[in-house]
């Protein structure tokens, strides 16, 4: 029987030599694989109150939208700087290859709303940490974070857990 990991393609040396890129587009393209991933991402939250699902740019939008639909709740995107049209809050963060800024609309989440944060991949945890900080500034209560893939060697899970976050992942891969 196939697992979620079986639907994920590995592309060596992308975007840089020595990186093993874990490509989830093959998972998304397969109806059984995509359904399996969404169902498994939803499972830990059965019976919990969630007001909004927050997706981190860009692949987090794909799962986040599907999960929000299944839960019949709203979806909120956290995007790279300059992509949202309304008034935003910004949070700088460090990437493996530089720095970036994430933004959220300042009215996207109300204080006290319970949110689930989703993305495809947890590497160093920098993007997720930036998203969490934005949500905390808006007064959201983060129920959990959920990812398809964890790269444990890069320490993202430990970083988020050190912030007090619950972290759920569907599969792990060694290396970068």
Establish whether the linkage from the previous residue to 157 is cis, with ω within 30° of 0: no
Assigned token pair, 3:
């697992």
SS (H, E, C) the chain: CCCHHHHCEEEECCCCCCCEEEECHHHHHCHHHHHHHHHHHHHHHCCCCCCEEEEECCHHHHHHHHHHHHHCCEEEEEEECCCCCCCEEEEEEEECCEEEEEEEECCCCCCCCEEEEEEEEECCCHHHHHHHHHHHHCCCEEEEEEEEEECHHHCHHHHHHHCCCCEEEEEECCCC
Residue 89 · residue 103 · CB < 8 Å: yes
Q: Which of 22, 59, 79, 157 is catalytic?
A: 59
Is 159 considered catalytic here?
Answer: no
User: Catalytic annotation on 79?
Assistant: no
Catalytic residue among 32, 35, 49, 96: 96
Active site residues: 59, 96
């Amino acid at each position: 029987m196939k697992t979620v990991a079986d639907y994920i393609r590995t592309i060596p040396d992308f975007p840089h030599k020595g990186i093993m890129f874990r490509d989830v587009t093959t998972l998304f393209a397969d109806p059984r694989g995509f359904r399996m991933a969404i169902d498994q991402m939803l499972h830990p939250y059965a019976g919990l109150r969630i007001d909004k699902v927050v997706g981190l740019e860009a692949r987090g939008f794909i799962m986040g939208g599907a999960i929000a639909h299944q839960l019949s709740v709203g979806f909120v995107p956290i995007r790279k700087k300059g992509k949202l049209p309304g008034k935003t809050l910004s949070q700088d963060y460090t990437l493996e290859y530089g720095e970036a800024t994430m933004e959220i609309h300042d009215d996207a989440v109300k204080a006290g709303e319970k949110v689930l944060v989703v993305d495809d991949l947890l590497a160093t945890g920098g993007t997720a940490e930036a998203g969490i900080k934005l949500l905390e500034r808006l007064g959201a209560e983060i129920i959990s974070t959920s990812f398809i893939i964890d790269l444990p060697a890069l320490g993202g899970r430990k970083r988020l857990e050190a912030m007090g976050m619950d972290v759920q992942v569907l599969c792990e891969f060694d290396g970068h």
